[in-house]
Amino acid sequence: MLRRSVLKLLHRSASAPARRYASTKSIREALEEVIPAKQAQLKKLKVEHSQAVLGDVKVEHVIGGMRGLKSMLWEASVLDPNEGIRFHGLTIADCQEVLPPFPGGKEIIAESMLWLLLTGKVPTEAETRSLSQELARKGELPDYIVKLIDSFPSTLHPMTQLGMGVAAMNQESAFAAAYERGMKKSEYWTYTLEDCMNLLARLPALAARIYRNVYNPGKPIPAIDHSLDLVGNYSNMLGFGNNYDLTEYLRLYIAIHGDHEGGNASAHTSHLVGSTLSDPYLSYAAGLFALAGPLHGLANQEVLRWQQNMQKEIGSEITHDNIKEFLWKTLKSGQVVPGYGHGVLRSPDPRFIALQKFCETRPELLKDPTIQLVRKTYDVAPDVLKEHGKTKNPYPNVDAASGCVLYHYGLTQFKYYTVIFGVSRALGALTQLVWARALGLPIERPKSLSMDTIEKLVKGA
């Protein structure tokens, strides 16, 4: 009951009565309202609780990739092993209920998620539409970036092109220019926000141009439509603007992939590089190159490839028994089951559940053999993995479902899937760069240890 009451209040905050003032309030003004309280909260933590212990550092943390080590401030989201991701306390289901969609649509859009991640508040419909219009106005690529992207060979990986394009845009960084002129630390966040908004606005055009050059060379790219939202324009520039269902799927995909706590490789890399006061373009370019790794953002294309191989072997008769047989074949060959397991989660990924529910509303998706395979694999894979005994989390993550829907709607180029992930992950990584500057967080500098030193410490203990 309490949860329903909170959601009703949040929903009211996003409805008509708030529109009177929303039309004149920008996202910067919304931030100016909330930053002082967060700064005061951080100051109190420093003064009153700086020596409080949050957890013990064990050898497994040092040699196991720091997994589970509580050592990073990240305001936008918290990932619970059992409940999954929450964005400022809201689950994905909560967000689907209260965040404004695109007019006439049903799915969360990037702008409403961006507003929530950045301010901690649910935007009104008017605030969301105003933000869409602002991003559309800023969305055109500079000529030198167009020439740079067009000069790349089509064989250059799309993620390499995306990272290079983002890094090259730092020539226009408002933060870098202001820092060189000399500015107060209290102004860091404002110039960082300007860079982040410009980069977010341009990512769809950049990503779409890469897609065109690699897969459809010479095909005209539609101009940015100021009546559309960020993802609506992205879908249109990709050449899928007339595919309403794919556009809605991309809206959902990008919104729920926007942030997943700060410890994942791409978010953490952006945070680390940003802590040196590198501008947002360089910081997020570094995060994109982390995302390009097979253990991170490339996972969804690996999952789809594995699913299609299973489908070829099983044939048209998809049963729980022959899926189980293929799962054991994969495991006994020394491979992992792609799309299952997660570094933090110990339950089915709520993002996977959200994408499954999207499929359930569309009969054409439920008839798709690959999507049927995904659903039936979910029925048997957890028990197989439990019996195998080497997987801490035997449940599906988001990659188990994300690629097959893109493939069904005609976006079939596997190598490009991580670029879409890169467009989405910018929502969380860039908003937290703004907060890192607003809170004055220091350069990140953990202490490293050699194995000899670890052995001495362990013996001493």
Residues near 409 by beta carbon (within 8 Å), at least 6 away in sequence? 240, 243, 245, 246, 249
Strand, helix or coil for residue 375: helix
Retrieve residue 118's tokens. Answer: 């950045």
How far CA 134 is from CA of 203, 226, 275, 429, in Å, comes to: 14, 9, 27, 20
Closest C-alpha among 406, 84, 410 to residue 252:
406
Question: 79 with 260: CB under 8 angstroms?
Answer: yes
Give 84's strand partners.
80
Confirm if 412 and 305 have CB atoms less than 8 A apart: no
Give catalytic residues, as residue numbers: 296, 342, 399
Cβ-proximal residues to 71 (8 Å cutoff; 6+ apart), any chain: 446
What DSSP letter does each residue of 148-205 carry, written as one string? Answer: HHHHS-TTS-HHHHHHHHHHHGGGG-HHHHHHHH---GGGHHHHHHHHHHHHHHHHHH
Tokens of 126: 């008017």
Distances from the Cα of 94 to the Cαs of 3, 5, 84, in angstroms?
A: 9, 12, 13
What 3-state class would DSSP assign to 85?
strand
Structure tokens at 338: 């792609």
CA 454 to chain centre: 35
The vertex-266 CA angle with 143 and 210, nearest 5°, equals 30
